[in-house]
Structure 1
């Protein structure tokens, strides 16, 4: 689920609950229980409210007349991050999470695009800003670990939250967070105080958040996952948060024990990194109750529960808040879940908008009618999508707002592929650009990845399309191998042959082996980079020239002898000649 974060279905606040984040910040005043834990110590909930109020007052004086009330935050997960989130809420301002893995003009573009009036950063990130033409003047670039910053904040200390004269409403912008799209400039999704507060309230109920819980935030706070699924429910449920500057697999359990963490969020590869750490006899000796996130996969979720004694709850929600699915106790392991009863989610043909037939699965879980059942997930009813900042074209494209009179205009189009089984459960099948078409058969990358996740020598797998020299696509997989493991082609063929749900076209034609999968700044597998490299990469590639099909299958696919061999320079030259002969070489650059 690239470019997704976890949100809730309708994001409606609980009856009588606070409808803004500002109200939740004010409610912390006088509460002397732990609020923010980190390597720098512990702030009580009262202290976090006081710190937010001081920074809100400072921001009010720094904000130029007529400027957008936007605060760029270029920080790791340090206590100043939630303090400035609280300050923005009280001041009726929006935090633009600035990604520290961006560089040069792209970083400057993100700051300029979100109209940041003030930029909050730290010494470690100052080299990123050196030499850039910033739209924020130097006097409004605040460095939180510089003595000058402490002197700047000190006069405002003692400000009470109720002394901030701004009165935010549920419609006040709260977050501008960049989606993790891999092509084109990132889009800044808008999240209002009402939506964020509602998501917090909803997750309190869904996850059973308690006042003595501690939410461990190890995913980057510039991304929506950590704020929406970690910070907001802790704020709404009266729980504390514990901060890890940056995710560390080796520090995970020590942190969890040190802070008494009961809950954590994850995205992308975090679970696989944790499973790749050396097992210890006391792995299950931890206070965690659950983890909540996306892309762990059924196999890794089961391994995680067995090793650490912690249940992972897989969810689905678009970063922009347009659609969400929730698990229930009867959700099959490989499914995501169902929408809320009053949400109108469907799997449709992306060209016509027609709802597609339900998926048929055999006894082994193999999808029998992928050609008919896989389509794009849409929300045909009311959604929480609030648009992209200063990007009307992208906003219109998400809702097909320029297709008046046509089916699908006004719906929320997720950009994700799904299929829906006969019991109504939705199954993730990849991004719309992750669809493969092999020998006229549509395949879902996510389903193949779920199968390859069972391969013991690998810590992770990514599946993507490479163009066939003649027509359609071929399947390519990149496997991240465990320390000390080597790729054994015969062992891999035997593994594939033993998988009952491996379809006849699913076996990879190309297998690339790496030490680690490339990831985006938010920890998700960077499939676009893998797809662009294809078989033209530095790492070892194994292939079967005729394609494997399903090992042991009858027909042309079986004639390759069901074996892999190293992909050589001669193989590459011959294959590229085939692309040129069929005028398809340009497809390798897509």
Structure 2
């Protein structure tokens, strides 16, 4: 365990003199002392590169190599902030992220230099970690000793971008104090010790890998094993090689792991805990049955404004109990939504009243967005932190996730929980991955559309839906898009914005139920024309369409 520490800089410096192995990356091994020394050398280099009078910010455009955590440690010691740069961004969008966060220095590697070609980045010093100049610069800083006393808990340390599905990504601020406290809290929650090894396979430009994986390892003095990019087929090999005991996940990572061929030795490993979001109850149970590892699902807004932790006694399907201050409010009126009422099979029968936005009226660690007061005001209003996520609560105070704000589905005046429909459709035998979302309909408000990756039999799917006791009369998907592979973001989350904008006009086959019918049939051009005449244009015709090929710009796992 670890003692309470106020800054990440102190946690970095605490490893000075610790000669146990502390970091693994492919065939390279660094001791904890070498990690602290490497961070100190980079902090000294950074101090000479940052211009006076400007925000002390640096961008990091790297895969999960040892350079990423070394620069996190360097920034902590130097009182600077790291902006993790998403390598799937391109052109003007990529340049915008770097300029918006006012990065005076950009750390990258030769493999990423083509992304920067032709970009307007005035005043940005580019450091190439596998270049000759970089080695020369670092050699001049060897012998630096970590000095944590020039920084405070309030100093910015992270500027990490939200997904940006509804506009330009927002850079959420995380201070040294908040990151240190988050790491220490997870140490207490999971009993992390100095002999543990954290496997960091989620991308470090995203908050999950840094806040939930790297920070608790640093706080406990545990080791860190890095995977350059997530690989489902390489997962267990790495876990065994590095003797990893803990990992984090987001998005579809668990589904990708479950999709690998089962082996008799799937339980032969030291892994103890997985912590993350969006695995779903069914996949979490399947993961534990196969690999013998319990996954702990939690909820936390990217910005840190609200969090829910699972606790013993949490009902199936719920995220966890509402701690003081967490409420579900009607966004239109600001009033608290009534408790959920469940019918046969656990079906939510009063979704129109019960589904609302999760709001934290208690203390919030949200520290704002960099240079974005409008977005900050949208989060901080009416004496609370509005998460933008949809929830409902039961009579005992347990909270259930109903979808992201953009996932709001309203059919014939009834609010439907996209997450609940996804859980039901995911039971379909042919489904490897499922996403449920609304497509606008001027008559009913929305129609339910599902994207299913896997195999699809229209008659079998219709029969499957009829057999589900918790599927409400308005919840059955009107449209089903069948994909070979689900489009995902760089953090393996389903790219719902792409699916919503494409609607039912895409290159993939789409099956549909005409109004008043139960059977699914293949959607044709004549059907879409008739539908547009009867119901108005589909979602894709009301906004700029993104070609289905666009999903290739956000690749899934390395496999």
* Number of equivalences: 546
Q: Work out whether 1:228 is the aligned partner of 2:184.
A: no
1:28, 1:587 → 2: CA distance? 53
1:85, 1:124 → 2: CA distance? 21
- Matched with 2:557 is none
Please point out which of 408, 414, 433 is paired with 1:435: 408
- Matched with 2:555 is none
Give deviations 1:201-246, integer Å, cap 9, x for gaps.
Answer: 1011111112111111111000000000000000111111111111
Contact 1:180–1:522 under 8 Å retained in 2: no
1:144, 1:167 → 2: CA distance? 26
Structure 1 unpaired stretches of 5+: 1-13, 401-408, 547-558
2:537, 2:395 → 1: CA distance? 45
Please point out which of 514, 519, 527 is paired with 1:563: 519
Please point out which of 253, 271, 283 is paired with 1:288: 271
- Matched with 1:388 is 369
Partner secondary structure for residue 199 of structure 1: helix
Contact 2:500–2:539 under 8 Å retained in 1: no
Give deviations 1:234-265, integer Å, cap 9, x for gaps.
Answer: 01111111111111111111111111111111
Contact 1:461–1:478 under 8 Å retained in 2: yes
Contact 2:56–2:79 under 8 Å retained in 1: yes
Partner secondary structure for residue 368 of structure 2: coil
> Under a length normalisation based on structure 2, what TM-score does the superposition of the two structures give?
0.95
CA shift for structure 1 position 79: 0.1
Q: Work out whether 1:159 is the aligned partner of 2:140.
A: no
1:506, 1:331 → 2: CA distance? 25
Partner secondary structure for residue 85 of structure 1: helix
Q: Write the mapping of 1:53-132 to structure 2, written as runs, cut at 5 A.
A: 53-132=40-119
Give deviations 1:296-355, integer Å, cap 9, x for gaps.
Answer: 001111111111111111001111110000011211231111244xx4110001122111
Partner secondary structure for residue 17 of structure 1: coil
Partner secondary structure for residue 47 of structure 1: helix
Q: Work out whether 1:576 is the aligned partner of 2:549.
A: no
Partner secondary structure for residue 112 of structure 1: helix
- Matched with 1:531 is 500
CA gap of 1:114–1:284, structure 2 versus 1, over 3 A, is: same
- Matched with 1:419 is 392
- Matched with 1:361 is 342
1:583, 1:568 → 2: CA distance? 16
Q: Work out whether 1:345 is the aligned partner of 2:326.
A: yes
CA shift for structure 1 position 470: 2.0
- RMSD of equivalent CA atoms: 1.9
Structure 2 unpaired stretches of 5+: 547-559
CA shift for structure 1 position 575: 1.1
Q: Work out whether 1:309 is the aligned partner of 2:292.
A: yes
Q: Work out whether 1:38 is the aligned partner of 2:25.
A: yes
Partner secondary structure for residue 346 of structure 2: coil
CA gap of 1:352–1:50, structure 2 versus 1, over 3 A, is: same
CA shift for structure 1 position 363: 4.8
1:354, 1:502 → 2: CA distance? 28
2:472, 2:536 → 1: CA distance? 30
1:111, 1:583 → 2: CA distance? 32
- Matched with 1:549 is none
2:539, 2:290 → 1: CA distance? 51
Partner secondary structure for residue 190 of structure 1: strand
CA shift for structure 1 position 582: 12
CA gap of 1:587–1:41, structure 2 versus 1, over 3 A, is: closer
- Matched with 2:487 is 518
> Under a length normalisation based on structure 1, what TM-score does the superposition of the two structures give?
0.90
